[in-house]
Amino acid sequence: MGKKNRGRVSHIMEDFNLPLDRDILQLQDHVIRHRRWLHRHPQTGFREEDARDYILRALRGMHFDRITVLAGTGIKAVLRGTCPVRTLAFRADMDALAVPEKTGLEFASEYDGFMHACGHDGHMAMLLGFAQWLSENRDRLKDNVVLLFQPSEESVGGASPMIREGALDDPEVDAIFGYHIMPEVPQGKVGLKAGPLMASTCEFGIDIMGKSAHGAMPQKGIDAILAASYYITMLQGILTRKVDPLSQALITVGKLEAGQARNVLASRAHMEGILRTFDSRVAESIKHDMMDLLAGLERSFGVTTDFRDLVYYPPVVNDPEWTARVKEILPGGMFYPAHPLMIAEDFAWYQQKVPGVFLFLGSRNEELGYIHPLHSDRFQFDEEILLTGIQLDKNILLGLGGIVE
């Protein structure tokens, strides 16, 4: 596979001391083929028809008890055990990003302007590999297993509609596991942490309406740009004076549109931003303060305002008991103490319903040049790590007694 994944024989056990079972190693060609096909066909949230159809074809060649399409482009596959004590779910996200690819890979995106720049092609390939292993070992399976291929993690969130349409029901899921390929974690390590791991996000939009006037006669108008600038500046005052310094929180306004001409007061300003915290109660308190600040803006500047929630995810909070179990199952030397990140993940919605554990699958490899961050147009990873993810799924199932050894 080499620096551009072009055929180098895997040395993952030798280089990174990751124990891979023979039956997992035998999946390598299939998993790489899945990953490369999926990488060439990236589609954004709720438009993942190519990936959905590809995954359905693969699953229908296996021995699952039920395969269902959820949320338009999502998939739920159920394999029932012989004497189930519990039902374990494993989830992979499916969507790509509107990022023009610059990796130079021979299997680069065939769709101009779109790319799997967040590793979701790898997540799907790992879950397909695990599906194949489960199918080949279904006679040994004791517990029920549910595989969830979920659309639209990157945009409005596909987890909620998946849940509404029965992702965690029939059979009722007892715990759920998910991975994210992570370039901040060294290859060969698995980042894990009990409690808050990834932030909640409130993505908001605000319109500020003023009154246009000649720029040389500002007293005859209401300047929406001035009001918007004041508001953006005062948002940081909420964080520094209204929030406990020990509570991690941030507000970023990343988009501001206003004005039509250099000599005309803007009659409208539109901004969009994000609010991130690790505590939903802190987020609600900050949102209350943001609304109060808008009310004060209306009184002070004479503008009218409109606040809209665009997207909300709760924080990813790993269940302490299940996280401890997973840590015990990890082979020696693989554990990497994960630090909380301000990025968000809609895996959190599953954790609102059932205990869950989200893990970071390390992909940083400076020797091979895999150092680019998530969402970079050059993001890439060593395909060897895909087998590591499948091995971990197998180890979790074995460690919890869900399959006969």
CA atoms within 13 A on the CB side of 15: 14
Among candidate residues 313, 336, 350, 370, the one labeled active-site is 313
Q: How many CB atoms lie within 10 A of CB 52?
A: 19
Reply yes or no on whether 383 is catalytic.
Answer: yes
What is 110-177 written as a DSSP string? SSTT-B--SSHHHHHHHHHHHHHHHHHTGGGB-SEEEEEEE--TTTT-SHHHHHHTTTTTTTTPSEEE
> Contact at 8 Å (CB) between 209 and 303?
yes
> Contact at 8 Å (CB) between 177 and 357?
yes
Structure tokens at 192: 């894990």
What is 309-360 written as a DSSP string? EEEEE--EEE-HHHHHHHHHHSPTT-EEE---BS---TTHHHHTTS-EEEEE
Q: How many CB atoms lie within 10 A of CB 405?
A: 5
Among candidate residues 153, 203, 383, 384, the one labeled active-site is 383
Tell which residue, 327, 336, 310, has the closest CA to residue 395: 327
Dihedral of the CA atoms 394, 379, 52, 343 (nearest 10)? 80
| Positive/negative CA dihedral, 176, 182, 186, 188 | positive
> Contact at 8 Å (CB) between 261 and 305?
no
Structure tokens at 367: 């020797």
Reply yes or no on whether 153 is catalytic.
Answer: no
CA-to-CA distance for 289 and 282, rounded, in angstroms? 11
> Contact at 8 Å (CB) between 270 and 300?
no
CA atoms within 13 A on the CB side of 193: 14
Angle between helix 120-136 and 28-40 (nearest 10): 140
Residues involved in catalysis: 313, 383
